[in-house]
Amino acid sequence: MTDAATEKAQAAHAGLEAPRTIVVIGGGQAAGWVVKTLRKEGFDGRLVMIADEVHLPYERPPLSKAVLAGEADIDTVRLVKPDDFDALNVEAWQPDCASAIDREQRIVRTQSGRDVQYDRLVIATGGAARKLPDALVKTSHVTYLRTLDEAVALGERLRASKRVLVVGGGWIGLEVAATARKLGVDATVVEGAPRLCARSLPPMVSGFLLELHRANGVDVRLNASLVKLEDHPHDANRIRATFADGSTLDADFAVAGIGLTPHTALAEAAGVKVDDGIVVDHFGATDDPRIFACGDVANHPSAWLKRRVRLESWANAQNQAISTAKALLGTFEPYADIPWFWSDQYDVNLQILGDIPGDAQLAVRGDLPGKRATLFHLEDGAIRGVIAINTPRELKLSRKWMNQGRSIDLATLTDASTALA
């Protein structure tokens, strides 16, 4: 991240009038942080939020854990309490959906027939759970998990079931499986790849998660090529899965966690540049200086990764939104956070910080089988990535060192008998 990028952004917006009407499309965590930050930074103009859910902005991480288990509800996951949201003086058009952006007239139109003219526009539309192919699914007993209402309905269904089939061995699938076991429901996870979370974890940690889930009674099947999901031949309220090797598996229903498809159609139709998400700069600005994007839908240049990336994480949705909101008002503070992700499964809190290639040689501190370890990826003596398993303090310290660009002695890192300081 250079001063030149800041100067370029400032120049692009120098000729624009100060915004009096800001429209935010989306009602999730990123949208919520945009409207909160705008008011905190002193914006007193008209603020319109268009969202297709009836709920005010809420956080998604609890959906696959506490909400699914029945331990949390809308009141515990809200980003802003209703009274506090009212105080923000936001026109919340909910439930409604933006249907078109007219960039020439600077108008957003909605499915309900309303329209609003904007000075600045933020697209924080997130994404949708990727669906299994229609050719594969021949049953209505397949569910997905993306929204609060889906999580509540899925939790009720889990508690009324004996066995669930989880399609996909990524983060959502594994968290659903862990919650199912917590509820006493048998769970089978089928994954087409040879290991779990193959896109985001080195083999050592994939193996750790495999053993963790099997130790908790999950039937994990790797290299499993699913060819058909259909109603059970003897019970239309259950399902049967058929695999490429001819084997079958019966369950009460299936949950598919196979990734997220970003909601980019609105931006594409308006001619805003899209490439695996809406393309933005370090400040959330698109190739149209009046239009910004942030959160799961935005593809941004990561100063830490030194490449473009679209991140799907709680931290990104919050912190990129804060940076974007400030840029809307002419304060250009680059979003340059080190990517951070976390997951809770059983008695394990797993956090990932930075950049860890799939073939990384990890330095291990602690006891991985004992579920308390920190794994480091180093380049030229500096920490480039960390995976912390029940070691939040060591992750916090690592973040500090990574931000400093500090060189660390490998022997010090891996000597668990000596405290990191």
Could you tell me if 366 and 374 are in contact, meaning their C-beta atoms sit under 8 angstroms apart? yes
Predicted local distance difference test score (pLDDT) of residue 255: 98
Among 296, 309, 317, CA closest to 129: 296
Among 216, 243, 218, 250, CA closest to 228: 243
Reported as a single tens digit per residue, the pLDDT across 66-82 is: 988 889 888 889 999 99
Predicted local distance difference test score (pLDDT) of residue 11: 73
For residue 45, what pLDDT band results from cuts at 50, 70 and 90?
very high
Among 314, 294, 346, CA closest to 62: 314
In degrees rounded to 5, what are phi and psi of residue 201?
A: -135, 145
Mean pLDDT along residues 30-49: 98
**CA–CA separation, 84 and 88 (whole Å):** 7
**What is the chain's mean pLDDT, rounded?**
94
Residue 2 pLDDT > 70, yes or no? no
**CA–CA separation, 187 and 178 (whole Å):** 8
Do 3-128+260-328 and 347-414 show the same overall fold?
no
Could you tell me if 22 and 47 are in contact, meaning their C-beta atoms sit under 8 angstroms apart? yes
Segments making up each domain of the chain, as ranges: 3-128+260-328, 137-256, 347-414
**CA–CA separation, 290 and 119 (whole Å):** 7
Q: What is the pTM of this model?
A: 0.94
Reported as a single tens digit per residue, the pLDDT across 251-274 is: 999 999 999 999 999 999 999 999
Could you tell me if 26 and 125 are in contact, meaning their C-beta atoms sit under 8 angstroms apart? yes
In CATH, which superfamily holds the domain spanning 3-128+260-328? FAD/NAD(P)-binding domain (3.50.50.60)
**Topology (CATH) of 347-414:** Enolase-like; domain 1 (3.30.390)
Residue 336 pLDDT > 70, yes or no? yes
| Of residues 408 and 117, more confidently modeled | 117
Q: Would you state the structure tokens that stand for residue 221, as one six-digit string?
A: 């099947």
Residue 331 pLDDT > 90, yes or no? yes
Give the amino acid at 285: A
Predicted local distance difference test score (pLDDT) of residue 13: 73
Mean pLDDT along residues 369-384: 94
**CA–CA separation, 406 and 380 (whole Å):** 11
Residue 412 pLDDT > 90, yes or no? no
Reported as a single tens digit per residue, the pLDDT across 76-114 is: 899 999 999 999 999 999 999 999 999 999 999 999 999
Residue 136 pLDDT > 90, yes or no? yes
Mean pLDDT along residues 401-417: 85
| Of residues 238 and 358, more confidently modeled | 238
Q: DSSP 3-state assignment of 213? A: helix
pLDDT above 70: percentage of residues in the chain: 100
Residue 146 pLDDT > 60, yes or no? yes
Residue 1 pLDDT > 70, yes or no? no
- CATH, domain 137-256, list 1.20.1050.10, 3.40.50.720, 3.60.15.10, 3.50.50.60: 3.50.50.60
| Stretch among 6-20, 128-142, 386-400 having the lowest mean pLDDT | 6-20
Q: Would you state the structure tokens that stand for residue 225, as one six-digit string?
A: 């090529």
